[in-house]
Amino acid sequence: MEWASLDEVEKLVIRMNTPRVVIDNAVCATATLVKIDSARKQGFFLEAVQVLTDLNLCIKKAYISSDGRWFMDVFHVTDEYGNKLTDKSVINYIEQSLGTYNSVRTNGFTGLTALELTGNDRPGLLSEVFAVLADLQCSIVEAKVWTHSGRIASLIFVKDVDSGSPIEDSQKISTIEGRLKNVLKGDNDIRGARTTVAMAVVHTERRLHQMMFADRDYERKPNNGTQVTVQNWLERGYSILNVECKDRRKLLFDVVCTLTDMQYVVFHATIDSSHNQAYMEFYIRHSDGSPISSEAERQRVIQCVQASIERRVTNGVKLELCTSDRQGLLADVTRTFRENGLNVARAEISTTSSDMALNVFYVTDAAGNALDAKTIEGVRQRIGLNNLIVKEPLTVCSKEEDDTQSAGVGGAMLLSLGSLVRRNLYNLGLIRSYS
């Protein structure tokens, strides 16, 4: 709706509800504060976290507090190297993105056909998928692949090789779906494989969470040291979710995605990370305002949050492929992986405007364990030592916050009931002490 077409009352309502965003580099010595004041809007907490994580920023601390129809979010963020934000273009983007009324975030993958795939994971599966797409004259422009609990979810953005346009022919789309489904099914897919041509994808990683959640990857109990507890504070009508795990980039985004998709609303939260360990506390309710009501529901929340954290975790080696793009490149590279016993646990595929392939693969052996250096070097020799580079499996923001900034969290995961509200009020400057 055009601004000029609105009457003065409608303009006033929009001004009153538009978030106020303040970027502050003076308060904290080691992080930039991003403060957001706004009338409460369903999903805005996730939207704010999404904007920050899409910029590869690290959220070291966060305080979320709402009072009736109003909320205030405070994020302590750094860049990927652990430094405060100084780039004016990044700061302006944050202010404009979070200060926009009723905005919608998209990936910008226009002119492409989106393929959604879920099924039973197995060694070499990705190689077969890419081989089918190459055979059907589909050019892969972007893709993300996640695996978890023996299942795989992938979003692949393709175009027709000859025309360079999105694939719209219904017969060809049916052929693509059918052949990919046969590959995904294999010989032992009890739960069933799914292939879909998506008409609109708002956010790739958000959609991958939804796909794996719908595929019930959370039903297998994780074993990676993540601690999740849920208890009810009946006097205030909240359920309190506590999480302790190893810190990593996009951790908060992953957890909030799952809570949002499970129809829970976060009213208050405290997030703190120090020494590569993250502590998170959320005060949540159902969208209808009620807390968690049964033991079965409590266990399901625990399982789903643990799964959301695990989906990005791998014991594999991170390999970066940078080379000129060509038709069938991914099929050839992943076939080489398969022939040398490498299994792709996670992948991020992209193509630049100058037709350069910038691809990241997290690879393990067939059992999901780390690979030996000799195997990796053999694969690099075949693909090209200058094209395939070994990187760290997973990077975490390097610079730790000052000890005084993390005081009050200590090593304990469970905070006393009501401590979060007092802590938030203290950090927002509304009371003098929360002790």
pLDDT in the model for residue 40: 67
The dihedrals phi and psi of 66, each to the nearest 5 degrees, come to -130, 145
Instruction: Give the max Cα distance, the chain.
Output: 70
pLDDT in the model for residue 431: 41
Burial 322-351 (b: 16+ CB within 10 A, else e): ebebeebbbbbbbbbbbeebbbbbbbbbbb
Residue range 11-57, pLDDT digits in tens: 455 555 678 899 999 999 999 999 998 776 778 899 999 999 999 99
In 233-364, alpha helices (H): 251-261, 295-310, 329-339
Closest by CA position to 293, among listed 218, 235, 239: 239
Residue range 243-294, pLDDT digits in tens: 999 999 999 999 999 999 999 999 999 999 988 899 999 999 998 999 999 9
Q: What would be the CATH architecture of the domain defined by 113-201+314-391?
A: 3-Layer(aba) Sandwich (3.40)
Residue range 124-156, pLDDT digits in tens: 999 999 999 999 999 999 999 999 999 999 999
d(CA 10, CA 6): 6
d(CA 253, CA 49): 6
- The whole-model pTM stands at 0.84
Q: Which residue has the tokens 């985004």?
A: 253
pLDDT in the model for residue 277: 93
**Looking at the chain, which residues constitute the CATH 3.40.1020.10 domain(s)?**
113-201+314-391
pLDDT surpasses 70 at 214: yes
d(CA 345, CA 364): 7
d(CA 335, CA 241): 43
Retrieve residue 126's tokens.
Answer: 């990705």
